[in-house]
Each structure stands twice: as C-alpha cells, then as structure tokens.
Amino acid sequence: MSAPTNRIVRHFAELRTSGKRAFVAYICAGDPTLDATIDIVLGLERAGVDVVELGVPFSDPLADGVVNQMAAERALRAGATTPKVLEMIRTLRTKSQIPLVLFTYLNPIYTYGYERFHHDAAAAGVDGILVLDLPPDEVAQNIELKPTPELSHIQLIAPTSPQERIASIAKSAEGFVYYVSRLGVTGAQVEIATGIAEQVALIKTATDVPVCVGFGVSNPEQAATVASMADGVVVGSAIVRLIEKNGSAPDLANQVEAFVKPLVAAVKALA
C-alpha cells in the first residue's frame, strides 16, 4: 500500500474532502530541455494543476500518438536520459511539492535496474509510476517486477476491458486509476468518447481509489464534461503540442500556464 506521506494519496484525500475534481497534466520530461521542464512544471502548478505526469523519454513509445512521440524524440535529442530525469526531479523538489507521476515504459526501467529505479525515483521525489506496457498479469508471475512500497503504482484500464479484468486491475490500483477513454494512441480529439460515466461507475464498484479519465481531452468544455463523470481528468497532448510550437520562446512556461489555467478552472468549477 502507498505510504501515508505519499503526495498523490494525500492530495486526492484533500480533493475528496473539498468535493473537488483533480486536474492531471502530462508533459514529456526534457522537452524542450530538462531545465525548461522545471519551469513548465512550476507554471502548471501556478495554473492550479493537481498532479503532473512526467513522461520518461523513450525511443519506442508505442502507446503514444505522434505529438507525444515527437516530444520524446526532442527530449532525447536534447540529451535527456533516465538518470538525468531523476536528477531534474531532485532539483524540482527544491522548488515544488506538487505530486509527480513518472509515465514510462518497462524498457528504460529494466535497463536502469527495476528495483534500483523505483528506489532512486522515490528518493528523488517521485510519488507514483505508470508503466504503460507492463500488464498486471506479468507482475503477478514475475517476482522481480513486484511493486515497491515507496511509490503509488498507477493502473491503466481500457474501454474494452471485461468486467472481471476491470475488477482485478482496480483492486491492485494505488494513487488513482487512469481510465483510457478511447482505443488507440494518445492525442487530442474533436469529440470526447462515449460510455465514460458507465465505465467509471463500473471501476468504482471494485475500488475506492480515485478514477481519472484521459486520452483526447483538449479544451475547457471537454475537460469539464469528462471531469463531471469521474474524480479527475488527464490532459496531455494539447499541452505537449503547445510546447512543440513554442519550445524556443523565453516565456514558454508562462504560455503553458496561460493555456492550462482555463482548463483547470473549468474542472474546479464543478461542484
């Protein structure tokens, strides 16, 4: 179970007490640079974001759409590595205590050393980890992949998951459940997916862990609609696209803050 001091667990408890929904923002660590990532996270915090997901740059991010794939490529070209991402987080922690989740694939972790990565990430100030290509079934069958207690292990649930699998995944969830609202890869969409309320309700029959919904949310109206059906909303590609377009701007962090603030406000306005 997650430690009582875990920032994700503590923050979601505070949100629940106040009747507020969570706004989770995704960016790729190191895009456009690791130093810029620190400023962007601080801008997201000023905008009212509750949790930041930091993508660990990886050369083969199969679950990501083209926007996030290109962000990972830019970060790698700029020199971002897994150890450097953790070092950046250590620096960030001298400036902010916002809850942080590492959004990653198994390969970078396994290359680093699975157990060592978890301990080093926690020591750097990471609160949670979401491994996109690590099915819970594999964890159950491989002792070396067992979760470590320092981090909340975020679970993904897809819209095609049958009820028994939803129950199995949800029971092992920590921090929050990330419900993927549509099939395919990440990326902003013109319309939100259907069936979100029903799927969230089904997940909630199996766990008390908060449920956040993502994949495709790109504007305040969509954010409010999705958040009204869950405990929170995740926005990623729309923010990453802004970073892509304005990566060389000296006021990049302020631009991100200005873009995200109305999305956060739409979510926080929900009673």
| Lowest-pLDDT choice from 163-177, 228-242, 252-266 | 163-177
**Looking at the annotation, which residues are catalytic?**
53, 64
**pLDDT-derived band of residue 188, with 50, 70 and 90 as boundaries?**
very low
Q: What is the pLDDT of residue 234?
A: 96
Question: Which two tokens mark 7?
Answer: 């920032």
| Lowest-pLDDT choice from 148-152, 177-181, 203-207 | 148-152
**Res. 183: pLDDT tops 60:** no
Q: Nearest CA to 98 among 30, 40, 21?
A: 40
Please indicate, yes or no, if residue 229 is contained in any of the structural domains: yes
Three-state DSSP class for 128? strand
Please indicate, yes or no, if residue 2 is contained in any of the structural domains: no
Please indicate, yes or no, if residue 1 is contained in any of the structural domains: no
Q: What is the pLDDT of residue 134?
A: 87
**Res. 182: pLDDT tops 70:** no
**Res. 107: pLDDT tops 80:** yes
Domain count, the chain: 1
* Top-ranked range on mean pLDDT: pick from 59-63, 130-134, 251-255: 251-255
Q: What is the pLDDT of residue 236?
A: 95
Boundaries of domain holding 86: 7-268
CATH number at residue 193: 3.20.20.70
Place of tokens 């620096």: 91
- Number of alpha carbons in the 13 Å side-chain half-sphere of residue 270: 25
Please indicate, yes or no, if residue 185 is contained in any of the structural domains: yes
- Residue 17's identity, in one-letter code, is T
Section 132-136 average pLDDT: 86
Q: What is the pLDDT of residue 216?
A: 82
**Res. 138: pLDDT tops 50:** yes
**pLDDT-derived band of residue 39, with 50, 70 and 90 as boundaries?**
very high
Please indicate, yes or no, if residue 54 is contained in any of the structural domains: yes
Model-level pTM? 0.93
Q: What is the pLDDT of residue 137?
A: 77
Contact 101, 129 (CB under 8 A): yes
Please indicate, yes or no, if residue 101 is contained in any of the structural domains: yes
Query: Each residue of 57-84: pLDDT tens digit?
Result: 999 988 888 999 999 999 999 999 999 9
Q: What is the pLDDT of residue 190?
A: 45
